[in-house]
Structure 1
């Protein structure tokens, strides 16, 4: 399931806010991921234990959706060739991927997940 969110369209982000509401926390399976889109950027929203992460949803090796892979031990595994990416840094933890995927700021408020693509805090 892919959901699109853009600033000003969701009603969940204050005007001028860099965070965009992308989904309800309950939409993200425990130790799993879903695909969303923020300003035409594919983003994987991932739950690992009690933590929530946001990464670019496209594998840096094979250009397939990471959100379709398995989540375990603080990583998400690409379903096609088995590369794993650290949820905190986006760095690959095993081959064949050698390049990291982008990570994004994420926060959970009132049961909703918000993502910022902005590099600054």
Structure 2
């Protein structure tokens, strides 16, 4: 797998998801307690962008039906979502955020 530049670390704000598109992949980036995390940006329940959702306590809430996912693991934490969201490995190099697709 290869690392792809996704954004600048300086573009991220704690507890505010950032949507990026890498090739054909829609990714959501998160700054959580000083660490960068990346998930697929589309809810597994129904098409909605997680980056439009509410981030709190290490979770992202889907703006459409309030499904919640753990940002670190991708685990679906409540209905209506039952499938986890894909998580991506992240590497920070200086101010560059690199994501493994």
Q: TM-score normalized by structure 2?
A: 0.93
Q: TM-score normalized by structure 1?
A: 0.79
1:87 maps onto 2:71 in alignment: yes
Q: Distance in 1 between matches of 2:91 and 2:56?
A: 21
**Aligned residue number for residue 73 of structure 1:** 57
Which ranges of 4 or more aligned residues in structure 1 deviate by more than 3 Å?
none
Aligned residues: 101
User: Helix, strand or coil for the counterpart of 1:88?
Assistant: coil
Alpha-carbon deviation of 1:79? 1.0
Q: Report 1 or 2 for greater relative contact order, CA contacts < 8 Å, sequence distance ≥ 6.
A: 2
**Unmatched 5+ stretches in structure 1:** 1-16
Q: Distance in 1 between matches of 2:15 and 2:91?
A: 17
CA contact (8 A) 1:48 1:71 kept: no
Superposition RMSD in Å = 1.2
User: Helix, strand or coil for the counterpart of 1:26?
Assistant: helix
CA contact (8 A) 1:91 1:99 kept: yes
Q: Which of 36, 42, 50 matches 1:52?
A: 36
**Aligned residue number for residue 97 of structure 1:** 81
